[in-house]
Structure 1
């Protein structure tokens, strides 16, 4: 093995990364509602010694559901079922800071961390979707900067709650009758602009101290949030140079904030694989033909917050389009940059991105993909990847059975699991217990 070890997550995006995945022969249209679909994928990824399962989420009925599956099941429910069916693989779920409460979210993920013996992670996001805002009594998603200010405070509160129990606070001594040493359980007494939370949490820490914090924002506000709080970052990059520049920026910001701990960088990587390059291109084309053209245009228009009538499949994007100030800045910026760099039509964008929203899609053979991953890894452009097979059912099998052995032969990927927790496998330090009021314990607060 090389001194560094590659990290791989499987991002189970319903039927798959590709917008036409649910119509592919290997998929079932009801996969997005079938817990066995997620469990099978997690077990396959565990067979391939992946670091974690990753689940996205949007709390709304959105993104043109007449054309493709959506995030219906709540991530921590899925991940709890996966925890019971697996032994090693990590469990990372997305939960928005826009429409959750810090205490309930901290409790939910701490519970997942305990029942999985230290395998949980929380992907911190804000929600730009206007449909979601209306589900929670608001007329719009709010300004981008305001969402991220709330997210930073939200995450601070959650981490403080996770640190409110000292490691040896639970005693459970039948002989003495002492159950919890309450002098080692502390209220957090948080009073901020957005939240007032006394604490402590009702759930003790796990074997890894607290869940791993993941972040995926590439905007300036998102980068600041990542530099403050992220243990790992799910990034968007189409070239190694972009990935290196992004990681250098985050590390510089983190150092300026006084952080010296490790941050793991995991660019998103969609995959379309076959034994030969010609077969992979044919698979790509067959999936493209399963995407409704109306949806293809609507998908790009929705991302860029532009009237679909302004877009044409066989013309480049209008020159006056800009990154929406209060939208999904990371994906819209990546899509605009890609389109302008290569003067792509909307049809080209749909083909290159698989009908998705900004992540790189690799089309080729297992050998070519293994070489590509090695190149990025050895260049320091990535510590690993958040993998997104075009169709989960067979695309993940192809990766595990044909790419993983090649990565192992190259000496950059593990052949077996080492360490018991997600934090250990990602090479992250145990978190220090966050400071609490020195003189006040839960006894004094009761």
Structure 2
């Protein structure tokens, strides 16, 4: 295992994690513990130590402001601990034979981004995590022969659950690059990287660095997630690396539930089919092709910490989880995510329109670097389609006409606004609410 340039064997990790578990045991009954989740061996040892001790870990974003940090610690009741990776517990005491927690007990408490209020603690059980990792190992043909490469934050599902616990679960080697730069990914390829994780921002930067992208031709599988991968980036990666990147879909509350398959047909803009044990349905109005994606399965969270009403509201009366994402399903069961119900479902002139479809059309224009589409109130249409784009040498009228030639005419933007950059969070997801914040 290598994290940000520091290397350790799994035996050394187990010893350091055992020391963390011993420290937690010495504290007496502990509801949860927190660690500042830097890209480091200390973070990995803390999470594994919590699993050994049966005490849920709360990873704190290293860049969290004082208010967010205080809220997470207060809400979770977690004790903040420091980890010294050099400390080792004897192999016997580091073994997980004394684990106090069962598979349904809390293993991790990950906090949401707080876009709809104060961040909520999402309680994930060991059973949900193992079910998800085993399903992904089957879908991606992920084994101990792989070397997983990524540089993602260790306080999200993508970087921590998939990117660390997934490697430990499968026994594959892990190379965390510290930062997900094209140069770091290319260097890892030379060292034998076979399975790569990235978010769209990472992949777009790699696609813009042809030499680095070419180095990834040695890989076995490229995986993209946490936000939609723009079709032009998909095509550039295919041209430069020879790989069609697999997209997958998930949430903190559900872990990963949909994915393309290694060796299977992979299409741009599609997030594949349900993983083992997952069932999906589309809650659409009569005659509509798109609607809210709802699902059930063994990977779902145990609930929002201390918020039974919010937990109940997240499910339908018959027990399906409401993702809040708008999706469509092709005839062969392949899913496409077209946006969030709260920001990306636009009702204009009697039509229900997914913003993601328009964004992909805009990104197909050679002069458009970024695009975000929203609906704004309109007295005539109900909502007016407004596109925010990062582009040079093209007019709004030209982009409107461009979309109209690619999609149905009623999906064309009624207004195009040029901006310097689309606001995004740490995982590269657009923060659309900020687009109109200055108005």
Q: TM-score, normalised by structure 2?
A: 0.28
Higher RCO (C-alpha 8 Å, min separation 6)? 1
Bigger fraction of residues in strand:
2
